[in-house]
Amino acid sequence: MEPAGATGQDGAGRLTRQTVLAAALELVDEHGLEALSMRRLGQVLGRDPMSIYRYAANRNELLAGVAELMLDELEVFPDDTNWQEQLRRIAHELRRVCLRHPNAVPLLVTGPLSTPLGLRPAGTLRPLEQILGILIGAGFAPADALHIYRAFYGFLYGHVLNELQELIADPEENEALLRLGLQRLPLRDFPHLRRLAPELLDYDGEQELDEGITILLAGLGEQLNAGRSS
């Protein structure tokens, strides 16, 4: 099946980088990262695969472009002056985009590990610049802002991966296995897990994210106030 907009060309009938990346992302959405190749993308676009190299020198560059396109979908909130609410809204935005493109999430989580910071596409660095601006504007020292960014996105990516794991599994089978497993645990050795069984069986990804962000923001607020006091 050809992704929507895969024939994307400009008025002169030529491909553009934007339409090539959009077709690549839709291909990944439908068939997974393994399906994305210059040859397959050329077939989807109805073009010679060699023409794709005008927009990405190799597959890794193409994947980086797909990650950049995903991050471009994140809504920004420049008019919100409350730094804590900005971070909360950014967190929910990232979750929304990741749940929309679950097959491409590894590009955001593990892709940057193989690419030096200075060689990453500018679009993939915008979230870093945005968070630094929010935190420094709130009164955090620049070095502290960088540490917070790493902790913030580390938490977000960890949450997204956990939630996707919950979604990918068969919900009914997953719940039955979890319930059975909890019942088999000796109460004397696992009192807390047995007591929390109802909560473990009732997973709400959006609520879990919000609870985690609340805990993180509370700690950051205390850190900022302590810094101002000193």
Per-residue confidence band for 114, with pLDDT thresholds at 50, 70 and 90: low
**Residue 192: inside a domain, yes or no?**
yes
What's the pLDDT tens digit per position in 135-168?
Answer: 999 999 999 999 999 999 999 999 999 888 876 5
pTM of the model: 0.80
What is the phi/psi pair of residue 8, to 5°?
Answer: -55, 115
Cβ 86 vs Cβ 80: under 8 Å: yes
Q: How many domains does the chain have?
A: 2
**Residue 64: inside a domain, yes or no?**
no
Q: Is 99 found in the same domain as 33?
A: no
Q: Is 51 found in the same domain as 90?
A: no
Percent of the chain with pLDDT over 70: 86
Span of 14-18, 116-120, 130-134, 191-195 with lowest mean pLDDT: 116-120
User: What's the rounded Cα separation, in Å, for the pair 219 and 222?
Assistant: 5
**CATH code, domain carrying 127:** 1.10.357.10
CA atoms within a 13 Å half-sphere pointing along the CA-CB vector of 28: 28
Does residue 7 carry a pLDDT above 70? no
What's the pLDDT tens digit per position in 177-206?
Answer: 667 777 788 888 888 888 887 777 777 889
**CATH code, domain carrying 45:** 1.10.10.60
Per-residue confidence band for 131, with pLDDT thresholds at 50, 70 and 90: very high
Higher pLDDT, 32 or 195: 32
**How much is the mean pLDDT over the chain?**
85
Q: Count CB atoms within 10 A of the CB of residue 140.
A: 20
Give mean pLDDT, residues 42-65. Answer: 92
Q: Is 205 found in the same domain as 154?
A: yes
Please classify residue 192 by burial: count the beta carbons closer than 10 Å to its beta carbon, then call 0-12 exposed, 13-18 middle and 19+ buried.
exposed
Q: Is 87 found in the same domain as 49?
A: no
Domain range for residue 141?
Answer: 76-229
User: What's the rounded Cα separation, in Å, for the pair 153 and 159?
Assistant: 10
User: What's the rounded Cα separation, in Å, for the pair 192 and 179?
Assistant: 15
Q: Is 172 found in the same domain as 200?
A: yes
Q: Is 196 found in the same domain as 92?
A: yes
Distances in Å between the alpha carbon of 33 and those of 1, 41, 44, 70, 183? 16, 12, 15, 14, 38
Give mean pLDDT, residues 14-30. Answer: 93
pLDDT score at 5: 43
**Residue 157: inside a domain, yes or no?**
yes
Q: Is 43 found in the same domain as 147?
A: no
pLDDT score at 174: 62
Q: Is 200 found in the same domain as 157?
A: yes
User: What's the rounded Cα separation, in Å, for the pair 5 and 26?
Assistant: 9
What's the pLDDT tens digit per position in 207-222?
Answer: 999 999 999 999 999 9
Q: Is 26 found in the same domain as 126?
A: no
- Alpha helices per DSSP H over the chain: 17-31, 38-45, 59-72, 83-100, 105-109, 122-138, 142-168, 171-184, 191-195, 197-201, 205-229
Q: Is 112 found in the same domain as 199?
A: yes
User: What's the rounded Cα separation, in Å, for the pair 164 and 159?
Assistant: 9
